[in-house]
Structure 1
Amino acid sequence: MLIKWILYVAGIVGALLFIKPFVDEDISTLTKYHRMAILHRMLSLRNKLLPSVHPVSITADADSKALVEVIALYHPSLDLSDDLTNNDVEQFRYHSKRILTALLPAKSSSCLIQHHTFQYNSNQVNMYSIQHEQIIDWKCSNQPIILYFHGGGFVFGDIDTYSCYECHLSKSLNMLVLHVDFRLAPEYSLEQTIEDVITVYKVLLDVDPNIHRRLIGMGDSSGGMLWIYLLQWIISNNKPVPQGV
């Protein structure tokens, strides 16, 4: 047991000594991403070799435990208490954006982003087209589309945080990505967030009734849950279902 604890401490100290000083420097996002990824892999490997010495619940896998440690090391303020103030929320969003943009791949210089406003009746939603090298109008009938709902527990996440990943997604799949900047809690309710994604789908169908044939739904974390809510609305209102989700 003593040997395990010595190795555990040595892993933490080694990671801090060789990785952390570089990540905190004002260097390129690409370098930050790679060095933080190395730290994550080091901690993950240690967790796989010594699973019993980690303080996080044993039900979590090695990668998840490592991510918790990376967040705790770099952004200890990444927490939300029950008694929230506006400043608490803004600080949470700030730290969340920093950790995500460091972990996600850097945005390529060939990635293009274009802003749109989708409106249905009185509701307006900010949208962004994201594509590698050139942006083809999403209204074009032969343009396949990924409709992406970002994660963040309905509290954080925006185009600045997710565009790097969505650019990578567009390049890898050679598809246009539509990013939805839906309203967030606690300023807005979950019902209003769901209303935003429904608004987006209504606008898409109004412009092209057959758009579902070239539409793929994607999302991470709470964004995946939003797709479940949207699919429930689509089915209950007899609307066409996307080609894939």
Structure 2
Amino acid sequence: MLSLKYSFLPDQSRSTLSAAYQAFEEIMRKVPLAELDLNADIFTVIKDLRSVFTMGTTVPKPSQCQIKKEIFDHDGHSVEIYWINYPRRKSQINSDILLLYFHGGGYMLGDIYSYSGFECHLSCLFNVTILHLEYRLCPEHPLPASIDDAVALYRALLRNNISPSQILIMRDLAGGGLSLLTIQTLITRQLSAPRGVIVLST
């Protein structure tokens, strides 16, 4: 069963919260909850969920942000990726680091349109290039399809002379699982692990 009764509860006693996070909570409270017919078939429910699952309105893409689509291939396995760059003044800092971002959404939701604004801000904050993987989603493509996509991208990067020491993997929500499963698969296949993994949770 799917439940969408999430909300932020105000708590004036949380004095340790930053002003920026409190502002984020206020924005999220204004996002309407999805009205779903949970008696419908699962594909209809997920289609309706996908239509409202976006951070584009709450975290819009900055006009300066540059996004370029590319198809990577490894042994006949093609994956769709997006290069995300925020023009930065200190281009020499972290200039050789690639941050692979595996978006959240419970393996069912999310895409470049819902995450590009957030990823652009990450590029600016960390002063790095973001590589967004448009991995295949459930239920149309059950696991391990998303893991296979992540591993195919990683191997394609290695084949293109990107060193594991240059690669960071970052993932939010259910993406934490995808990140760790990807690392586990790389180790099982005796491939060098990336420089690090950043897992976000709520």
TM bucket (normalised to shorter chain) is: 0.7 to 0.9
Corresponding residue number in structure 1 for 2:32: 74
CA deviation profile, 1:141-191 (whole Å, cap 9, x unmatched):
x62110110000001100000000000000011100000000001111111
2:34/2:49 contact within 8 Å kept: no
Per the TM alignment, residue 243 of structure 1 is displaced from its structure 2 partner at its CA by 0.9
1:132/1:167 contact within 8 Å kept: yes
**What amino acid is the match of 1:155?**
M
For 1:199 and 1:160, the matched residues in 2 are separated by 22
Corresponding residue number in structure 2 for 1:180: 133
For 1:82 and 1:196, the matched residues in 2 are separated by 32
SS across alignment from 1:130: strand
Where in structure 1 are there 5+ consecutive unaligned residues? 1-38, 49-62, 135-141
Q: 2:182 aligns with which of 227, 230, 245?
A: 230
4+ long deviations beyond 3 Å:
79-83
Corresponding residue number in structure 2 for 1:163: 116
For 1:177 and 1:224, the matched residues in 2 are separated by 17
Residues 110-129 of structure 1 aligned to structure 2 (within 5 Å)? 110-129=64-83
Identity %: 29
Between the two proteins, the alignment pairs up a number of residues equal to 176
TM-score, with length taken from structure 2: 0.77
Residues 1-245 of structure 1 aligned to structure 2 (within 5 Å)? 43-45=9-11, 70=29, 74-77=32-35, 79=36, 81=38, 84-97=41-54, 100-103=55-58, 105-133=59-87, 143-208=96-161, 211-245=163-197
CA deviation profile, 1:14-36 (whole Å, cap 9, x unmatched):
xxxxxxxxxxxxxxxxxxxxxxx
**What amino acid is the match of 2:32?**
Y
SS across alignment from 1:232: helix
For 1:191 and 1:80, the matched residues in 2 are separated by 28
For 1:156 and 1:198, the matched residues in 2 are separated by 20
For the pair shown, the structure with the greater C-alpha radius of gyration is 1
Change (3 A) 1:228 1:124: same
Where in structure 2 are there 5+ consecutive unaligned residues? 1-6, 15-21, 89-94, 198-202
Q: Give the number of the structure with larger relative contact order, counting CA–CA contacts within 8 Å between residues 6 or more apart.
A: 2
Per the TM alignment, residue 122 of structure 1 is displaced from its structure 2 partner at its CA by 2.6
For 2:43 and 2:186, the matched residues in 1 are separated by 35
